[in-house]
A and B are shown apart, each in its own frame.
Chain A
Amino acid sequence: MAAITLTIDDKQVSAEDSQSVLSIAQEQGIAIPTLCHLEGVYDVGACRLCLVEVAGVNKLLPACTTKATEGMVVRTDTERLRKYRKITLELLFAERNHVCAICVANGHCELQTMAYNQGMDHVRYDYCFPKWDMDLTHERFGMDHNRCILCARCVRACWHIEGAGTKNVAGRGARSHIITDMFQPWGEAESCTSCGKCVMACPTGALFERGSTTGEMQRDRTTLEFIVTAREKKQWIA
C-alpha cells in the first residue's frame, strides 16, 4: 500500500492507493450522494448517483468502484452531475409508488433525503403506477415492493454478511424484483434466519419491522458495519 495524492473538488488530499474515490471523499468531508453503497458490503456501482468527473476520462465514473490513482483530478459537484442526479431521482420516484406521507420510513428515508438535498421538488415524467404486492407473511418483518428501488443492499447484506442467500433479484429490467427463496412468501422461506440485516440495510421503507407505522421505521446502519469489522478482525474470538 502506497500513499498517493489526488485532487477532489480543487482540494489536494492524500490517501492510500487501494482506496475508492468515494471513501477518500468521505474521509475529507466531501459529500458524494449514494444510494446503493452500503458500508460493510461490496459495491456494485448500480445507482449511478455517485458518478464523478475525472480529468482525462471521457466517461463519468462511479466513485464507489473507482480506485484512486496518483495525480487524479476529480470533480464531484458540477452542473452536469447535478442535473443527472436530479433526473436519476425523478426516474426512481416515477418508477414505483413512492408515497412519502404514508410511508413507514418517512423522515428516515435515504431516497427522500436525497431528493431534498438535490433539490428535486417535482417529477416531470409520467408516473408508471405499477402494481406491486406487499409481503407480510414473516412474523417480524414486512416487505413493500412499491417502495423498493432495487439497490440490492438487502441482497448483498443477506449474502455477504449473513451468508444465508435468502434474498435475490429475480426477473429483469423494469420487472426486476426482490424475492425470498423460490419467490415464496417470506414467512415460508426456509433459508431465512430472521436476522433482520436486510431490514437494517434498506434505504427506503421497502423493508420494515412489522408494527411500525408512518415515520417510525428508523434503523441503525452502524450495526452492520460493526458486524463486518468484528468478523474481519476476528474480534469475536476471545
Chain B
Amino acid sequence: MSPFQLKETMVTAIAEKRQKSVVASAQLVAADKRYKILQTTMKRHQLQADALIEVLHKAQELFGYLDTPQLKFVAQGLKLPPSRVYGVATFYHFFQLKPKGRHTCVVCMGTACYVKGADKVLAGIEEQAGVKAGETTPDNQVSVLTARCIGACGIAPAVVYDGTVTPRQGVPEARKQIKEWMSHGS
C-alpha cells in the first residue's frame, strides 16, 4: 500500500468512526427529550470544552445520575476524549454515577455537626436503613449520603431530607424519618 493509499484508508476509517458517533448522538436526541435539552445546553456554551462541568451538572439534573450513554453523549458533543469526561465526572463528589434511591438523606459531617454528634446520627440512619453511607437500600427507596459541610453550622447537627435542610437532628428523629420512607415503599 502506498503512503497515499494508507492515508486515504486512515481518513476513511476515522470518518466512519466519527459518523457512527454522530449518528448515535442524533438518535439519542430524537428518542429522548432530555438529550435534546442537554444538547441545547452544550450549544449555549458554544460547545466549549471548559463548559464540561456545567454540562455535567445539567445532565445530572435531567437524568438524576450520570450513566455511560450520557457521558459519551457529552464527550461527543464537546469533542473531548471519553476518558477526560469520565475522569472529571469521578473527580467531583457531587456527580453520581449510580442511580439514587427515591429519597435521599444527606447527613452533614462538618466539624460543627461532628462535635454535636453527627457521627451518631449517621450511625443510627445507617442501622435503620441497613446500608452504609454512599449506598442505596436494595428496594431503591433511600440513599444515605454524607456531605462535607452544608454551611448550616449554626443549627448543627443538620440533615438534608430530600433537599430540605432540617436542623438539630437527634438519632430518634432521624430513624423515624428513614423508617417512614422505607415503609412507604413497594
**Which among B17, B71, B82, B83 has the greatest number of chain A C-beta atoms within 10 A?**
B83
Structural contact, B91 and A168, CB atoms closer than 8 A: no
Q: Which 3 A-B pairs have the closest CB atoms?
A: A165-B81, A168-B83, A168-B87
Return the chain A residue nearest B81 by Cβ. A165
- For window 135-176 of chain A, which residues contact chain B by CB distance below 8 Å? 164-172
Residues of chain B within 8 A (CB-CB) of A179 are 83, 86-87
Residues of chain B within 8 A (CB-CB) of A42 are none
Structural contact, A180 and B83, CB atoms closer than 8 A: yes
Structural contact, A164 and B81, CB atoms closer than 8 A: yes
A182 at interface by CB-CB < 8 Å: yes
Given contacts A182-B71, A182-B72, A190-B17, contact A167 B90 (CB under 8 A): no
Return the chain B residue nearest A163 by Cβ. B81
Interface string of B70-113 (1 = CB under 8 A from A): 01100000001111111100110000000000000000000000
Structural contact, A172 and B84, CB atoms closer than 8 A: no
CA distance A190 to B16 in the complex (A): 12
Return the chain B residue nearest A173 by Cβ. B91
Interface string of A169-196 (1 = CB under 8 A from B): 1111000000111110000001100000
Residues of chain B within 8 A (CB-CB) of A181 are 81-83, 86
Residues of chain A within 8 A (CB-CB) of B72 are 182
Return the chain A residue nearest B93 by Cβ. A172
Residues of chain B within 8 A (CB-CB) of A165 are 80-81, 83-84
Structural contact, A191 and B90, CB atoms closer than 8 A: no
Residues on B close to A: CB < 8 A?
Answer: 17, 68, 71-72, 80-87, 90-91
17 A-B pairs within 8 Å (CB atoms) are namely A164-B81, A165-B80, A166-B81, A166-B83, A168-B84, A168-B87, A169-B87, A170-B83, A170-B86, A170-B91, A171-B91, A179-B86, A181-B82, A182-B82, A182-B83, A182-B86, A183-B86
Number of A-B contacts (CB under 8 A): 43
Structural contact, B91 and A172, CB atoms closer than 8 A: yes
Q: Which of A171, A172, A191 contacts B82 (CB 8 A)?
A: A191
Q: Which of A167, A171, A182 contacts B68 (CB 8 A)?
A: A182
CA distance A165 to B83 in the complex (A): 7
CA distance A6 to B101 in the complex (A): 62
**Nearest CB in chain A: distance from B171 CB, A:** 30
**Nearest CB in chain A: distance from B106 CB, A:** 20
Residues of chain B within 8 A (CB-CB) of A167 are 83
CA distance A167 to B87 in the complex (A): 9
Return the chain B residue nearest A191 by Cβ. B81
**Nearest CB in chain B: distance from A196 CB, A:** 17
Structural contact, B81 and A168, CB atoms closer than 8 A: yes
Residues of chain A within 8 A (CB-CB) of B80 are 165
CA distance A171 to B72 in the complex (A): 18
Return the chain A residue nearest B20 by Cβ. A190
Residues of chain B within 8 A (CB-CB) of A169 are 87
**Which among B17, B80, B85, B86 has the greatest number of chain A C-beta atoms within 10 A?**
B86
**Nearest CB in chain B: distance from A221 CB, A:** 23
